[in-house]
Amino acid sequence: TKMRVFQVKDRMSVKPDCVYVIPPNKSMSVLKGVLHLFEPVEARGLRLPIDFFLRSLADDRQERGIGLILSGMGSDGSTGLRAIKEKNGIVMVQEPATAKFDSMPRNAIDSVLADIVAPAGELPGRLLDFLKHIPVLKSDLDIEIKDKSSLEKIIILLRSYTGNDFSLYKKNTVYRRIERRMGIHKIDKISSYVHFLQENP
């Protein structure tokens, strides 16, 4: 990679276009863009450092959290990805058939509904495409004026496909989730997303 790679030191600030590697025998957490190292309290065979970090990332970044699982053994990471999904973040997983060790990606896919599953070489491009398509969250007034019809149509389609009625949810909450799905599918207009849902139930 052309990105700079650092072994994490306690209280290291996260910067763009860098890779941070956790030191051996440490647990890592993030708070407001600063990485913190901890001595692990679990016995050696029971440590799940990826879950520990991803849960921290979910708490810190909320809906802006993005978790990615690549080739590896075991199930470490699955619980952390679930925490990211619960906060409306994005989950990306390497396609297990392309992984040297497929148990981590397979466990992640089995336990969490991944937003993007692709070969490792495609994941950076998919992530950048997604980030380009994240719209700015609109105010309730903007939703009322411009997108109410499309929003209502999406709620109707979701109700018919899933049996869940999202009409009682806060509009901003529903809209934020729709924006995330639009970003994943590279769709810029909510009216286009209505057509996408009709064609892809």
Per-residue burial over 116-130, b if 16 or more Cβ lie within 10 Å, else e, is: bbbebeebeebbeeb
d(CA 181, CA 194): 11
pLDDT on residue 135: 57
* Domains of the chain, first to last: 4-132 (3.40.50.180), 140-199 (no CATH)
Question: 80, 57 in Cβ contact below 8 A?
Answer: yes
Structure tokens at 192: 């286009």
C-alpha dist (Å) from residue 69 to 50, 53, 87, 99, 194: 9, 12, 17, 10, 30
Which uninterrupted H or E stretch holds 107?
Answer: helix 103-111
Average pLDDT over residues 143-156: 73
Per-residue burial over 158-172, b if 16 or more Cβ lie within 10 Å, else e, is: beeeeeeebeeeebe
pLDDT on residue 134: 67
Q: With 80 as the cut, is the pLDDT of residue 1 above it? A: no
Tens digits of residue pLDDT in 156-200 = 888 888 888 888 888 777 887 888 888 888 888 888 888 898 888
pLDDT on residue 141: 40
